[in-house]
Amino acid sequence: MVAAAPAAPRRATPLALKRLRGVARFVGTLALTFFGLLLVTFLIGRVVPIDPVLAAVGDRAPTEVYERVRSELGLDQPLYIQFYRYVAAVLHGDLGKSVLTSNPVLADIKRFFPATFELATLATLIGVLLGIPIGVLAAVRQNRWVDQVIRVLGLLGYSVPVFWLGLMGLVLLYVHLGWVAGPGRLDVFYEDLVETRTGVILLDSALAGEWTVFRNAFAHLILPALILGYFSLAYVSRMTRSLMIEQLGQEYVVTARVKGLSEARVIWRHALGNVMVPLVTVVALSYANLLEGSVLTETVFAWPGIGQYITNSLLNVDMNAVLGGTIVVGTVFVGLNLLSDLLYRALDPRAR
């Protein structure tokens, strides 16, 4: 028998290498996630019982036109070849052309996503700025009338159809009271007055110093943002309430009170400080959901956002557009996850 050589002492992995591995792992996971997303969406697009050629040529096209377009779209090729070609094109930055809009998908996304971004961001701000204080209030006044009212409001936010609420909002605030502007992103007067830089009209008009356009855009934005913000508020306040109730029962809260800290400091600084980490996840999820586009809100408010774009494309099996939209949605989720991780580290020293 040969005696085993004594194991060489392990050298500590350099920090740079560790980080490199971490980055590689992250990139690998990301690539796998996007690949899976694309594959699943692609396969769904192929099994839905709708002929994609119909979207391109309509119902009346003669057979030779139909066959030609089918071939142009690559639909006469085996599925794996179709998918390979698509992924190869995406890796070259080409998301293809939309059959329905005749535009490059990237150009469509650049046009539709900022509209959704603008709406979702303001809605999330409303949801967070109102939802967290409301949730805290409900937790502090647990089982009192304030709590009951807030819980009912939250429940309504979950259960009232957004479509109905949007229409009622329009009837009341737009038609009867005239407090807000109607559907669409701008009045006809202001269309194309401001050069498109980011696609976010509030930002573009502010950068151009066109404050009348800014006001008009805000007047159009506020109602759909309030409607979506209400749904975000319902979710955020409910989660805040339950997280706060748990924290308020902890011993450190009792200790803080015994030590004579003011009630406001106990609640807002210590208890709320401890629920901020899980709340970041709650808010990120809510924001990501809104950034996917709210089809019904966009429909009621004639808001040209990504939700309508993806849904319309899906119903017409405009797969380049659907896959492009999927990449956007995937990127939004990944981006917000990253942001959440960074915020965790900022809020919780243990995570650093």
Partner 1 sequence: MKFSTMLLGSAAIVLAGVGAAYADTPKDTVVMAKQIDDIISLDPGEAFEFSGGEVDGNVYERLVYYDLKDVAKMHGALAETYAVGSDGKTYTFKLRPGIKFSSGNTMTSADVVYSIQRAVIMNKTPGFILTQFGFTKDNVADRVKAPDAMTVTLETDKKYAPSFFYYCLTAIVSSIVDGATVKQHEQNGDFGNDWLKTHSAGTGPYVIRSWKANESYVLDANPNYHGSAPLTPHVFVRHVKEVATQRLLLEKGDVDYARNLGKDELEAIHNNSDIAFDQGPKGAITYLGLNQKNEYLRKPEVVEALKYLVDYDGIDDNILKGVRIVHQSFLPIGFLGAIDDKPYRFDLPKAKQLLAKAGLPDGFAIKMDVQGQYPFIDIAQALQASWAQAGIKVDLIQGDSKQVITKYRARNHEIVMLEWGPDYQDPHTNAQTFASNFDNSDASTTKTLAWRNSWDIPEMSKRTQAAVEESDAEKRASIYEGLQREHQKVAPFVIMFEQIEVAAHRKGVDGFNIGPAFDNNWYAGIKKN
* Inter-residue contact 182 to 166 (CB < 8 Å): no
Residue 196 near residue 161, CB atoms below 8 Å = no
Q: Phi and psi (nearest 5°) for 97?
A: -110, 145
Question: Residue 8, SS3?
Answer: coil
Distance, in Å, from the CA atom of 66 to the CA atom of 56, rounded to the nearest integer, reads 9
Tokens matching residue 179: 């407090």
Convert residues 60-99 into a mask of x (bound to partner 1 by CB under 8 A) and - (unbound): xxxxxx--x-----------------------------xx
Total residues binding partner 1 (CB under 8 A): 67
Q: Is 260 in the site for partner 1 (CB under 8 A)?
A: no
**Which of 126, 121, 132 lies closest to 287 in space, CA to CA?**
121
Q: How far is the CB of 148 from partner 1 (least distance, A)?
A: 15
Report if residue 191 touches partner 1, rule: CB under 8 A. Answer: yes
Residue 287, classed as helix, strand or coil, is helix
CB of 22 to partner 1, least distance (A): 42
Q: Measured between alpha carbons, how far is residue 157 from residues 117, 225, 227, 273, 276 in Å?
A: 21, 14, 9, 26, 22
> What does the per-residue mask of binding to partner 1 show for 106-145, with x meaning CB under 8 A?
--x--xx-------------x--xx--xx--x--------
Tell which one of 102, 161, 209, 350 touches partner 1 (CB under 8 A): 102
- State how far the Cα of 154 lies from the Cα of 157, in Å rounded to an integer: 5
- Shortest distance in whole angstroms from residue 144 CB to partner 1: 12
Q: Residue 315 Cβ, how far from partner 1 at the closest point, in Å? A: 5
For partner 1, the closer CB: 183 or 330: 183
Q: Does 233 bind partner 1 (CB under 8 A)?
A: no
Cβ distance to partner 1 smaller for residue 80 or 189: 189
Task: Provide the minimum distance between the beta carbon of 37 and partner 1 in the complex, in angstroms, as a whole number.
Answer: 23
Q: Which residues contact 239 (CB under 8 A, 6 or more apart)?
A: 135, 278, 279, 282
Q: Least distance (Å) from partner 1 to the CB of residue 21?
A: 45
User: 80 by DSSP, 3-state: which?
Assistant: helix
What does the angle CA 181 – CA 187 – CA 189 come to, to the nearest 5 degrees? 145
Interaction between residue 161 and partner 1 (CB under 8 A)? no
Contact residues for partner 1 (CB under 8 A)?
Answer: 48-51, 54-65, 68, 98-103, 108, 111-112, 126, 129-130, 133-134, 137, 146, 167, 170-171, 174-175, 177-184, 187-189, 191-192, 215, 218-219, 222, 226, 299-302, 304, 308-309, 312, 315-317
